[in-house]
Structure 1
Amino acid sequence: MRYSLLADSLLYPNSSNPAAPLSFSAAGTFQISIFEDLHFGENAWDSWGPQQDINSVSVLNRILDSESPGLVVLNGDLITGDNAFIENATVYIEQIVGPLLQRNLPWASAYGNHDHQFNLSADDLLAHEQRWPNSRTQKMVDTPNAGTSNYYLPVYGNNCTDSDACTPELLLWFFDSRGGARFQERTADGQQIGLENWVDTSVVDWFQRTHAALAHRHQKVLPSLAFVHIPTFASLAFQHTGVHAHHEPGINDDVPLSPQAQGWCPDGTTNDGSCDYGGQDVPFMRAIASLPGLIAVFSGHDHGDTWCYKWDAQLPNMSVAGNGVNLCFGQHSGYGGYGNWERGARQVHIGKAQLDALEADTWIRLEGGKVVGKVALNATYGRDWYPETENTKTSCPSCNYTAVNVSPRLDTAKTIGQGEL
């Protein structure tokens, strides 16, 4: 079912109310449901494309019926923009947010490489989201190469009646790792132009300045969580050392995983066959590994990886040492995109009593209802023993992924410098 903008005020009257600040519950807890790699809008001209989207809406409904989040995070690749038409590329957001509007839930997005495409502008996607007050997605960095979804959200205590006068209990940081293709841009010979796939240095500068300003304003370091679609090279470096099924429970099928700056040369040119990784995410890694208060960074992009790692050392082939921040993958949430791992969504639950210790609890709720990979991101995570995560699969019997009928209207020109998941 597609949710009409015109009908929203009738179907979901609460969605037209002004958005209240995010806050902890009366019980002193705050929970986030992270959906990633939904990949709506694939092959709309074939019957299996719309069927995938119907199945993905079912995933959203089933998980939200089982969990009670205070915020839903859409952590990248909401839409497979390279498989959509420019005339309707943003309308798939209406299918995604329908289940959220039904429950009057707020959401916030961090855009991914498939949300930046020749036929899909991330700025247009943001404008479409902001038609509803439930959307908390913003753009706080306006530099030319920043991307779109770079911003932060404060979360206040339950007893805060004036957010301007209250100190946030928690900060949520969102970063645009870009990637994909530049919107409606071509080279002189007609080829699409790839978009850099890392958090830009202008965003890193904004992050560091804003983090320092907030600490100065509130006279304390505020605990925080971060969301970025493409993981950093630190996750790949750790994967090379070995992901332990009981210390870092989760699926580890995407080996090697695909980090930021993959496929780009150190000088910023696109991959010419000699460059696998350009190192452009080093400034972002230095920031997340050095700024105090950051509990965890959550990523997607690699559909077959669902583990968390405590980055507390210098890993091989890296110049940046971790400070104990947890780097986590979620679960492939949509029926679009590659892979048939059982769809699901990572949950993050944090109590006020955990804030001072910079701790959080997290688990993955699967489409079938089962909870897997439940861990405590505390001081001993990485040494604690947990049950191994069962690698279950789901399928879409009516989705024939081998019968792809290419639409003659879609631009299929090669994208220079893309080459991403």
Structure 2
Amino acid sequence: MFDYETIRLIWWVFIGVVGIAFALTEGFDFGVGTLLPFIGKTDVERRVIINTVGATWEGNQVWLVLLGGAIFAIWPAVYATLFSGLYAAMLLVLFSLFFRPAAFDYRSKIEDPRWRNSWDWSLFIGSSLPPVLLGVLVGNLILGLPFHFDQDLRSFYDGSFWGLLSPFALLCGVTGLLLTTFHGALFLKWRSEGVIHDRAVNTVNALGPMLLVALTLATLWVFLGIDRPEITQMAATDAPSNPLHKTVIAQGASWLQHFMTYPWMWLAPLTGFVGIGLAWLLGRGESRMGAFVLSSLGVVGVALTVGFGLFPFLLISSTAPGSSLTLWDGTSSHNTLLLGFWITIIFLPIVLLYTRFVYRVMWGSVTEAAVLKDSHTLY
């Protein structure tokens, strides 16, 4: 039905959609968890905050599992390079995520302030560290990672964990934390009442300018200070995958020139900045749904900016540009992509419809009275 070139592009879109779904849903989960020890002053207030995401956090985290599985099946070379070369960093993300289910499930088992406070800070660690690490990963995807393939297409990673912590990557990590925390504060504002609602508004008011400044600095750094490799010769886009069948120069057109070549791509950063800016302005007032929707548009805009900027690269090699992986030479076989396509066409709509159903059923403000009334069934 689809030729190899077309199905490769379709899967780039599919995996992008899954990544955006993860950023949107797990993004506000991370933000709420990060804000828990600071906005919640009493045990009941913290229980209210936890229960704003209590019914959906597990489903939101599944998007990350789905993203990893999709990369494994569709972009095996990307999966192998990332998860072997960045083994320590990936384990750190995984171990930090371990805190979340334990904190959600065990926090309210014992009515001891020390016990509950310990799990609150565990949830904070499990919610704040992953956005920082994933932001650092995004920064290194833009800068390029030190890897290469030999003639047998074996991947070799030439860097270290500490080499990932460049100033630009750290800026991306801080931006990732600010973005999820801002997004979570707007979600918390929408789903809470009273003093928690007021504190969420104050948080939105404080974080908005910091996030916009961080995004501006990161954007200017990319456009003016980072070289983008350029493919000068490549095999046909419907040829079997082999990352060595192309020629890449390390210093090609700049990231700014890349966007100027495709003017429609400017819609992505425009959506990101306008969405977050308007979300901040509306979030300072009484707007609930509108501010959160605009924040969601901002998150989508940021994600699309990264995706469009990298296209057609999936992984850029900083030490051997010719080993860089693109969506034309880093995918599985044609038959594998077609089989995965039909599985996705059947099951992804079911997942999306079920997710919509769950949010509709579980929606509404979470109050202290509701938590105290259902003390044994809620977190």
Q: TM-score, normalised by structure 2?
A: 0.34
| Higher normalized strand content (fraction of residues) | 1
Q: Which has the higher helix share?
A: 2
